[in-house]
Structure 1
Amino acid sequence: MPVMPSTTYHKYDVTDFCDIDPEYGTMDDFKDLIAACHERGINVIIDLVMNHTSSQHEWFKTAADYLKNLPEGAEPDALECPYVDYYNFSRKMQGGYSKLNDTDWYYEAQFWSEMPDLNLGSQAVRDEFDKIVDFWFDLGVDGFRLDAAKEYYSGSVDKNVEVLSWFNSMVKEKKEDAYIVAEVWADQNTYAKYYESGIDSCFDFSFADSTGTIAAVLKNGSASSYGKALVSLQDNLSQYSDSYIDAPFYTNHDMARSAGYYSGDDSENQTKIAQAMNLLMSGSAFLYYGEELGMKGSGKDENKRAPMYWSEDAASNGMCKGPAGMDAIKMKYGALETQENDGNSIYQFVKQTIKLRNEYPEIARGTVAFEKSVSDDKICVIKKTYGDSEVLLVYNLASESVTVDLSSVTFGEKGGSDLEVGGVLLTDREEATFQNGTLTVPGYSVVIMK
């Protein structure tokens, strides 16, 4: 979510693109954050809203005042008021437009009347964002999340791709290793096309949410369908870019939290394994804060953005109130202070998953092959290849322990019987075993073979 000044708690109605909202702190605080992150080898990307501004942004207020004072019958002139070209004004009411008070004019505002859409075809607007990017790069920012990229020109993939192509070229000329990830909330066939712009990543919506691939497989699907979906995704994205970096995620600030997706005796283990299914995908995997604890929150947006659950004590240091209007939420699992001392907690499972992801570069960077012959409704086996190195990931996506014969799997110069266990992710206390090519995988667990 953006950190710029805004009239709302969510900050997507930006009033100044080159400052920090006081609710988050000061510019000096931001500089300290950047420095502390960089000292730890952590890159920082920020949420950049190019689709619209706040109605309280000086650009819009100036343009609105100009139109209100325009003589009857006169046409707006960008030479008199440059900002009138920054937005999409019309004398006709259209879909997604709002009326400009005290005038006969309307303006595009696809999300909300107080968030007027910018005219990204305007060179003047693009020049503004060129300067905005310079401002944040000078502060040490490493890249950008681009909000609502499919609404730059609602309904036009080609025009949106052109905007992203311009932005990507402009950014990479300034900072070659800057990272750009776009939010294109659409089906996979649509957001795959956005890779033609040259940007690094698009969020992978097809695997996310309560109806996405991950949750669907765990609730009523086949484990093999997960492996097939990974290969299908890879084939789809590679049509449009040979340098794409997938951006898998499981939930975000617009979706119900995943702990509420499952019920019954297996719900905690399903919550855990779902995180592994996301975090072990190739690309730059994203984890929404609090998911590593199994936080709950659904319904209105404020509930999905509850404060981080550091402690069960609401008055404890570090706890905050959350957005106004948020409902009282009874958490299903313990706070961080509890889970970090429990070796079998969701937090410890996610922590171990990230550790293994970092330990094996094949996981994040590898090309996926689905091992159909040793997969079934309960077991999914995939091979990831990165350069000359390979790893095998064996997922048991059922509740009971399953035995799988890996002896037929070819693995470089090794046969399946010659493999070794390189890591395990267990949702319960039963251990995985491997002997003479036969692997026994406990329920809702993952074994990495090398």
Structure 2
Amino acid sequence: MTVHHDLRTPDAPALRPDEKELGQEPRHWWRSAVIYQIYPRSFSDSSGDGVGDLPGITARLGELRELGVDAVWLSPFMTSPQKDAGYDVADYCDVDPIFGTLADFDALLAQAHELGLRVIVDLVPNHSSDRHEWFQRALTSPVGSPERARYIFRDGRGAQGDEPPNNWQSIFGGPAWTRITEPDGAPGQWYLHLFDASQPDFDWSQEEVKAEFRRILRFWLDRGVDGFRVDVAHGLVKDQEFPDYTPDPEAASMGGEETPAPYFEQAEVHEVYRDWRKVLEEYEGDRALCGEAWVSSVEKAALWVRPDEMHQTFNFQYLETPWEAGRLRRVINDSLSAFSAVGAPSTWVLSNHDVVRHATRLSLTGENPQGSGIGPDHPGLPDRETGLKRATAATALMLALPGSSYLYQGEELGLDEVHDLPDDARQDPTWFRTAGQRYGRDGCRVPLPWVADAPAFGFSAGESPWLPQPDRWNMLARDVQRADPESTLNLYRRMLELRAERRLGTGNLHWQHSEDEAVLIFTNRDVLVLANTGTQSVSLPAGHEVLLASSPLQGAQVPADCTVWLHRPED
């Protein structure tokens, strides 16, 4: 029996007139693109200082084109003191010297475009670095001055103002307020920092802040970038009453509660992105905005991608879904329905620079709150083979879905979370602000292995990498995997090649009936996909040609934790 839900990828709703010609695919690349996230510090180091850089990325772009991705997203490379790995920006319109120069960025962009790759840059609008010239001026300007108004300064509570304005806590742990010393030496006001104390929050009720970010957008658009990934896109605007608030301890650190925190999901934030959308539409070509919005449902996430706002938002509900058929089916249904209702593509993602790599995470049995990370004492750590098998099955399921997919650097090598970093090597602010109670995100940010028998596995020819690489990554290096036809790298290549050939990104999903509750079966164009999330093998459908399998099949049996793509005969 076939169950036709006809949950269409959003290539039909809200199309512009020039996209409605009969039989034409939508021209918007971001509707079906596979986008590869590059974490510049950890991708490739050309200078030998142990930190990845822009020339290192440029030199490796051909390998990403060979992999088969459509675009790259660069995590922050702008001028920064690097207190939070570049998410503390001191100058939004220049390149930090550890990554190179503006000329290096222009060369990277030109090479990417020559190879047919789009380039998305990370933009951090919720906060700046405390080294930003605006904040430095705020510290030396009087209370109530225009310079202070660019940030969120408030008087403290208590008779002497020596208590924070409210009880808000930093995402990284500890209070979200820090008191300054006024220019005359007296104890002064408090400023808000939802993240580290070195990351003061902008006041987005101020027109000057809005105008400055329009200028920043145009600076990078003028250079030719294809879009922006927007950090903390559900933040920016705060409840102006600044009420006390205690978050649900079970919720993700970045939000996602049913009743939003007073510093997340405020209605006025949508006006910011309507304004930005107008800026992007001033430019020729097809530029895109993608938001990092940690919200409680895909229906809420869809509010960020209404026709006059962003083009995409990350589907964190999908990322957080365990490897269970019933829950996966629900989130896929909900995603396709919610995003198509506003004319936007659904996005799919399994790993990024803020979460435990899915080659480890999907097989964990212990608790793993977002942002907390894992360490050597984490209960229920999977063996690497089990984790990788489940991860590749999950990726094969994801890449068969209609819409746009995001890959995180290194997942194509099957990299696991480096849970056993030495304590003295850790650099995430979360580790320090919680006095080691939470490990943070260093484990998913360890530099990539390129060459098995080279120093630093070919990541850097010079000093030790900024985070140490585990010896077990020797056999995961790219050169080893390129030579192995059964490697994870070559599986990713085959999946991306077939996804493009079969145009799965712009297809339609139709569920097929399965007698086994642990098995998902659907069709997308002429491909039938079977994902076995259970513990027992299941039979292959008869009369279908196997296109690929995420792990070796057992004759006509699909083993546990395996996804298969099959050619569906014409009806």
Scaled by the length of structure 2, the TM-score of the pair is 0.65
**Structure 2 CA distance for aligned equivalents of residues 125 and 266 of structure 1:** 49
**Within 5 A, what are the aligned runs for 1:260-339?**
260-261=360-361, 262=363, 263-264=382-383, 266-296=386-416, 297-298=418-419, 299-312=439-452, 313-315=454-456, 317-319=458-460, 324=466, 326=467, 329-331=470-472, 334-339=476-481
1:256 is paired with a residue whose SS is: coil
Which residue number in structure 2 is paired with residue 98 of structure 1? 178
Aligned sequence identity (%):
26
**Structure 2 CA distance for aligned equivalents of residues 322 and 380 of structure 1:** 45
Q: CA deviation at 1:393?
A: 2.3
**Within 5 A, what are the aligned runs for 1:364-383?**
364-371=505-512, 373-374=513-514, 376-383=516-523
**1:76 aligned to 2:144?**
yes
Which residue number in structure 1 is paired with residue 36 of structure 2? none
Which residue number in structure 2 is paired with residue 413 of structure 1? none
**1:126 aligned to 2:210?**
yes
CA contact (8 A) 1:161 1:194 kept: yes
CA contact (8 A) 2:290 2:313 kept: yes
Which residue number in structure 2 is paired with residue 193 of structure 1? 303
Which residue number in structure 2 is paired with residue 60 of structure 1? 135
**Within 5 A, what are the aligned runs for 1:160-199?**
160-175=269-284, 177-189=286-298, 190-196=300-306, 198-199=309-310
Q: Which structure would you say has the larger RCO, counting Cα contacts within 8 Å and 6 or more residues apart?
A: 2
**Once superposed, what is the RMSD of the aligned Cα atoms?**
2.5
CA deviation vs aligned residue, 1:392-413 (integer Å, no higher than 9, x gap): 323333465422557xxxxxxx
Amino acid in the other structure paired with 2:392? K
Of 392, 397, 402 in structure 1, the residue corresponding to residue 538 of structure 2 is 402
Closer, same or farther: CA 378–322 of 1 in aligned 2, 3 Å: farther
Q: CA deviation at 1:350?
A: 1.4
Of 519, 540, 547 in structure 2, the residue corresponding to residue 423 of structure 1 is 547
CA contact (8 A) 2:78 2:93 kept: yes
Of 148, 153, 157 in structure 2, the residue corresponding to residue 89 of structure 1 is 153
| Unaligned residue ranges in structure 2 (runs of 5+) | 1-74, 157-164, 169-175, 238-262, 364-381, 420-438
CA deviation vs aligned residue, 1:73-132 (integer Å, no higher than 9, x gap): xx5243xxxx33221221232333321233421222111211111122222111111111
CA contact (8 A) 1:188 1:204 kept: no
Amino acid in the other structure paired with 2:514? V
Q: CA deviation at 1:448?
A: 3.2
Q: Which has the higher helix share?
A: 1
Of 328, 334, 343 in structure 2, the residue corresponding to residue 226 of structure 1 is 328
Which residue number in structure 2 is paired with residue 259 of structure 1? 359
Which residue number in structure 2 is paired with residue 112 of structure 1? 196
Q: How many residue pairs align between the two structures?
A: 402
Closer, same or farther: CA 349–134 of 1 in aligned 2, 3 Å: same
Closer, same or farther: CA 91–428 of 1 in aligned 2, 3 Å: same
1:104 is paired with a residue whose SS is: strand
CA deviation vs aligned residue, 1:32-62 (integer Å, no higher than 9, x gap): 1111110111000000011111110011111
**Structure 1 CA distance for aligned equivalents of residues 136 and 515 of structure 2:** 60
CA contact (8 A) 2:353 2:441 kept: yes
**Structure 1 CA distance for aligned equivalents of residues 127 and 481 of structure 2:** 40
CA deviation vs aligned residue, 1:240-284 (integer Å, no higher than 9, x gap): x12x12221101111112222333564432222122123333222
Closer, same or farther: CA 370–192 of 1 in aligned 2, 3 Å: same
| Unaligned residue ranges in structure 1 (runs of 5+) | 68-74, 407-416, 433-439
**Structure 2 CA distance for aligned equivalents of residues 329 and 422 of structure 1:** 36
**1:392 aligned to 2:392?**
no
CA contact (8 A) 2:270 2:304 kept: yes
**Structure 2 CA distance for aligned equivalents of residues 58 and 134 of structure 1:** 20
